[in-house]
Structure formats: C-alpha cells, structure tokens
Amino acid sequence: MDFLTDVPRHLFFTGKGGVGKTTVACATAVHLARSGARVLLVSTDPASNIGQVFETRIGNTITPIPSVPGLSGLEIDPNQAAGAYRDKILAPLRGLLADKELASVTEQLSGSCTTEIASFNEFTSLLADPAETAEFDHVIFDTAPTGHTIRLLQLPGSWTSYLDDGKGDASCLGPMSGLEKNRATYGAAIKALTDPRVTRLVLVARAQASTLAEVSRTYDELAALGIRATHLVINAALPNDETTRRVQQDSLYQQMQQRQEQALTCLPPNLAGLHRDQIPLKAVAMVGVEALAHLFEPDSDQPAPAHEADAPKEFPELASLIDALDAQGHGLVMTMGKGGVGKTTVASAVAAALAQRGHRVRLTTTDPAAHLDTTLAQQVPGLSIDAIDPEEATQAYRDHVMNTKGASLDDAGRQALKEDLRSPCTEEIAVFQQFSQAVAEADNGFVVMDTAPTGHTILLMDATGSYHREVTRLSDDPENTVTPLMRLRDPSYTKILVVTLPETTPVLEATELASDLARADIHPWAWAVNNVLSAVKTDSTLLAARAASEAEQIHTVDRLAPRLAVIPAQGTDPVGLPALQSIAGRRPRPAAPSQVTIARETVQ
C-alpha cells in the first residue's frame, strides 16, 4: 500500500460514513505496530467501534491494546464531548434566562457544528503539543476535521464579544464561545495539519460515483486552506484478477465490477493525480487482529470462504410502501438519510411509481441527475421535476443576510458573519426555504422531496422564530395559518422515509437522524434498507458471504421502523425508468390518459 510508505508522525483518514475509514485506520495501526513502531490510534467518529474491532474496551483515556504490542487506543466520543461542552456554556445562563430562551440557546448548541468543534477541541493538544504523545512514533486519527471547522478556528477577533453584541445568529459561532484552548494551541494544531512532513491526509472512498464526488469536494475544501490530501484509498474494491474472474462466474458480480470500473475511469480530475491504493472486498467482517492484518492482502492469498450461496430472502418490497401512499391519494413524502445511501434514487422510484398509478406528482430534488431530466420528465405522465440548485439558493440566502444584518457591522464583524454563513446549517435553511414553496401542493397531489433538512435545522429556524413568525406576520389570517413546519409535524400530511444501507455505520447514522428529528416532534413513517445483497440470487461465494453479514443490521432497522422496505442490490446504476421500476417492486398500473402531465421546472 502506497499510503504506508514513509509514514509521517500524524496520519488522518477521512471520508463519508460507511466507506470503511475505521477499518482502514485500525489495519494501518496494526501494520505499523507490528513493524516495531509505537502507535496511538485516536477515533473521533460518532460511530466509532475500534474497541469492538480489537475486542477490547477502549474509552476516553489512552488504553494499551493487549493483542497488539506497541498499540494504544483512545476513543473521543463526540456526542459525549458535545454534551459536556454544551453544559459548560449553558451553566452560567441557567437561572438568568427564561425557559423559552434557554431552550432556544440549547437548540443552537445541538447541531453538527457543536459536535465537530467539541471533538476538535478535545484532540488539538495531540496535534499541537508533541509532548502529549511523546511516547508514540505515530498518531493515527480516524476522521479528520472539516474545512469548515478549521476556517472557524482561523477567524480573527473575539467570538464571545461578537455574539454578546448581538451581531450573529449563532448557527456556528455560538458553539465557538465555549472553546477553552488559546489561539496559540489552535494555531499550532493547524500548522501541523498543513505540514505534509508531519501529517498525511488520506481520503477513503468506495468505487462509487457518489463517494468519489464527496471526497473530491473534501479535497477542494481542505486544499483551499493549505491542507492537501496526498493519497486516495479505494476500499472494498471487487477483485479483478484472473483467478477471481474464473471463480466468480456470476452476473451480479460482473455487473457490479463493470460499474466499479466505470466509476474509477471517470475519477474526478482533482483525485486523479493522488497516490491511489485499492483494498479488496473481504468476505468476512474485519473484527480481530488477524483479520485486520490481512486487510491489505489480495484475496488470492486467503483461503476461499466456505459459504454456499443461499436462496434470496423474502423481505417487504418498496411497493408495499407505495401501495399505502397510493391509497391515501395525496401527501408530502420526504426521503431522508446520509449521503451515499441512495435517497435520491428511492425518491425517484417512489415518485415515478405514484405517477404511473395515475397520480399527479411533483419530485423536488437538490441532486437533479441527468437521467431524471431526460428519462423521467419526458417519459412519465403525471410527473414534474423541480431542480433546486443548492449553491444558488445558499448564495442568495448569504447575500440577503450580509445586505441586511451585515450592513451595520465593521470589517471584523462582517468577516465573522460571512464565516458563520458557511455553516452546514446555512445550506439546509436556504434549501428548505425553496422546498417550502412546494409543501402546500401536497393537498392536491403528491410532492416527493429528496434531501430534507435535519431536525436541528428545523428547530433552529423555529426557535429563533425568524421563519415561522415571518410567515405568520404576512398572513391575512394568522390564527389559521398553516406553516411548512406545522405540515412536517402532521403525520397524516407528511410521510418521512428514512433510507439507509445494511451496514453498521449507515444504520447508526440513520438512527441518530431519527433521534434528531424526534426533537422537532417529527417521526419517520417508514424505513428503507437499500442495496441488500441477501435479497438477490448470487452464485458468487464472496457476495454470498457478504450477504450473510447483513442480517444483524436489517434486524436492527426492523425493530426501529414502523414500516420496513428492503431494496435488493442492483448490478447496474439505477438510471432510467426500467431500473427505477425494478427498485419499486411490483409493476404499477398505467396512468389514466386524462392525468397525463409532463413538465420540468427549475427553481432559482
């Protein structure tokens, strides 16, 4: 593996949830420790399971791992860190603020920014002060800080006075007010991150277009700050050697391999110049030291898995959820989930199926892929598509805030406000304002929304009152006004469909998303588990072994979900109407001629 050559003192792994960052980080730690180095493995991943991987209890103190001499672990629980961090900020305010105001401040400190900043605050000394980790040759970090967090730490001036003077909305600068370390410490930590002689940043992805696009954005964001990733690791790649091709004579395997090759052929330009390694897909779970020790080896060096292909299991299809929606006749359907789980595909399949059953359907998406425009908009009677451009919506929102709130600020204040508006929350709020225009249409048909705001964003908007009160103020009948927020909380009107994958990290992230929504009194109507191998027939021993590992995660979702749908793994990209019909399940009945409506709109 190229990324293991001349390893510097610090090694960071970053990428989307579920791509295998933790596994790669743990295997790297084992490799270096067995090579004679003294290694500290640090996890700041909310789905951290390094203790489970090494079959050892690891907590928030440096803990030697008995099975690997020379290796120690440290798990920084970001949720726990965020809770302690939030309590420290809120403690002086209790008894001074009214309950309603305290609830508003609490919600402002409950988003992803607080978690990210609190976690980074925990491990900056590991980067900034070599004495903290003097006993180790290498410090490996599972999950790196984002460019947004680093930009916040580079802001000039005082965060606390900026907020006390009422110059900000506290979407991200609020969490900054509780930072304990001084600027010198943060400066030293950022210097270590930007020095390739000290730190190596490794991007981890799967051979899939969505995850490669995500790490491409991460690369650009960090590069703009002087932090340059030098290596790209493609994890869980289907082996392509001659022996494997002879053994894996299976149409699904071959289709998946072709899709993988296409994704790598179309690698984003900024990733093409990086050192690239491919880690082969393994048939067994990467738990235990010996499994990790073989992660970087080709499968031809391993004994073939003794696993026979099982018959496909029967699960409830997505069509069962579409049946329930069809019976209702109208409503708002929102697909929610982390990036890369297939929520755009699920939203498209649901929208197309409802349109083919004779309903008028509007599909609103912030990820309008070309096939939605050409295939769905032109060939599905009754379906219209709104393509919302998140970048344009966000820029318009930023410009509005800078021209209003920022007009009376000095240069330092405007710079701080500008950075505050780079918050992940800003895009969600801006896009939600675009979405809200379509919500009322679900009274007379179906509106299917892809990429929805989190519960934190919804509560933040409601807590500050800026959006809710503005809608009410402009209404001719404020007492009987129904706002988008009220619609989202109405289960008879809005159906939340959580989409996930049958893997540990995506399921955990989906569970946290559901908890986040519950704070806003919004609850999932159903869950869909996408890309399930155990729901399809395969003669591949490798895929069959992987399918056997899905049962636990599907069972976890089944216990959480009021309704469950399982979508079989697809060998080809789900592009075009036939592919979406396959995902939806049973073939829909055709639309009545009188309900034919074809349209495509772009919301600016």
Mean pLDDT of 302-318: 64
Burial of 473 (0-12, 13-18, 19+ CB in 10 A): exposed
Predicted local distance difference test score (pLDDT) of residue 306:
47
Average pLDDT over residues 87-98: 78
pLDDT over 70 at 125, yes or no: yes
Return phi, psi of residue 517, to 5°. Answer: -65, -35
Q: What is the DSSP letter of 84?
A: H
Q: Do residues 325 and 193 both lie within one domain? A: no
> What does the pLDDT look like over 195-204, one tens digit per residue?
999 999 999 9
Q: How confident is the model at residue 111 (pLDDT cuts 50, 70, 90)?
A: low
Any bridge partners for residue 601, and if so which? Answer: 386
CA Rg, the chain, in Å? Answer: 25
- The whole-number pLDDT of residue 488 equals 82
- Encode pLDDT of 333-373 as tens digits: 999 887 778 888 899 999 999 999 999 999 987 654 434 55
Give pLDDT, residue 88.
80
Residue 129 in this model has a pLDDT that exceeds 80? yes
Asked if residue 205 and residue 125 are part of one domain, the reply reads: yes
| Residue 602, strand partner residues | 387
- In the three-class reduction of DSSP (H, G, I as helix; E, B as strand; rest coil), residue 74 is classed as strand
DSSP codes, 431-498: HHHHHHHHHGGGGSSEEEEESPPPHHHHHHHHHH-HHHHHHHHT-SSGGG---HHHHHT-TTTEEEEE
Give helix then strand counts, H and E, for the chain: 28, 16
281 has a pLDDT exceeding 50: yes
> Do both 274 and 331 map to the same domain?
no
Identify whether 326 is part of a domain: yes
For residue 30, how far is the Cα from the chain centroid? 27
What is the separation, in whole angstroms, between the first and last Cα of the chain?
46
Tokens describing residue 257: 């391999």
Whole-prediction pTM value?
Answer: 0.75
What is the H or E stretch that residue 40 is in?
A: strand 39-43
Same domain, 103 and 6: yes
Q: Are residues 345 and 220 in the same domain?
A: no
Q: Would residue 400 count as lying in a domain? A: no
pLDDT of residue 386: 76
DSSP string, 128-155: H-GGGGTT-SEEEEESPPPHHHHHHHT-
Do 183 and 261 share a domain, yes or no?
A: yes
Of residues 305 and 232, the one with the higher pLDDT is 232
Domain annotation covers residue 413: no
Structure confidence at residue 590 (pLDDT): 45
For the chain, how many residues are written? 604
pLDDT at 30 over 60: yes
- The pLDDT, as a whole number, for residue 565 is 95
Last residue of a domain, one of 250, 276, 291: 291
Residue 270 lies in a domain: yes
123 sits in which H/E element: helix 112-128
Q: State which of 249, 273, 291 marks the end of a domain.
A: 291
Coil, strand or helix: which one is 72?
strand
CA angle (52 as vertex; 47, 54 as ends), nearest 5: 125
pLDDT digits (tens, 9 = 90+) for 563-594: 999 999 988 877 778 888 889 876 444 444 33
Tell me: pLDDT of 286 over 80: no
Is residue 71 located within the same domain as residue 201?
Answer: yes
The residue ranking higher by pLDDT, 192 or 187, is: 192
pLDDT score for 555: 93
pLDDT at residue 144, as a whole number: 65
Based on the fold, state whether residues 273 and 168 are members of the same structural domain. Answer: yes
Specify burial of residue 36 (Cβ count, 10 A radius: 0-12, 13-18, 19+).
Answer: exposed
Q: Which of 104-118, 142-156, 384-398 has the highest mean pLDDT?
A: 384-398
Q: Which are the contacts of 504, defined by CB distance < 8 A and separation ≥ 6?
A: 47, 49, 553
Mean pLDDT lowest among 40-54, 322-336, 525-539, 579-593: 579-593
Residue 185 CB coordination number (10 Å): 18
pLDDT at 472 over 60: no
H-only helix segments in 274-335: 289-293, 318-328
Q: Over 60: is that where the pLDDT of 433 sits? A: yes
Domain presence at residue 305:
no
Q: Cβ of 491: how many Cβ atoms within 10 Å?
A: 14
∠ Cα 188 192 197 (to 5°): 145
One domain, residues 286 and 326:
no
Residue 593 domain-assigned? yes
Sort 112 into a burial class: Cβ within 10 Å, 0-12 / 13-18 / 19+. Answer: buried
> For the chain, what is the mean pLDDT?
78
d(CA 505, CA 341): 11
Evaluate if residue 604 carries a pLDDT over 50.
Answer: no
Residue in the structure block whose two tokens are 């939203």: 347
Q: What is the pLDDT of residue 594?
A: 33
Question: What is the tally of structural domains in the chain?
Answer: 2
CB 361 within 8 A of CB 446: yes
Indicate the helix (H) or strand (E) that contains 404.
helix 390-404
Answer yes or no: do 484 and 598 share one domain. Answer: yes
Please identify which residue in the block is written with the tokens 């074809």: 598
Do 366 and 465 reside in the same domain of the chain? yes
Q: Which helix (H) or strand (E) covers residue 236, if one does?
A: strand 231-237
Residue 170's pLDDT is 44
* pLDDT above 90 for 41: yes
Rounded Cα distance between 500 and 420, Å, is 30
Report the pLDDT value the prediction gives residue 275, as an integer from 0 to 100: 95
The predicted structure's pLDDT at residue 597:
34
Band of the pLDDT at 314, cuts 50, 70, 90? confident
Chain centroid to CA 82 = 19
Least confident of 65-69, 377-381, 506-510, 512-516: 377-381
404 in any annotated domain = no
Condensed to tens digits (0 to 9), the pLDDT of residues 498-520 reads 999 998 878 888 898 888 788 77
Please say whether the beta carbons of 233 and 243 come within 8 A: no
pLDDT at position 560 is 93
Q: Where are the beta strands (DSSP E) in 308-393?
A: 331-336, 361-365, 383-388
Instruction: List the CATH number of the domain containing 373.
Output: 3.40.50.300
The whole domain housing 198 covers: 2-291
- Looking at the domain assignment, is residue 234 inside a domain? yes
Lowest pLDDT segment from 44-53, 96-105, 205-214, 437-446: 44-53
- What is the rounded CA–CA span in Å between residue 147 and residue 226? 10
Residues 34 and 95 in one domain: yes
Percent of the chain with pLDDT over 90: 27
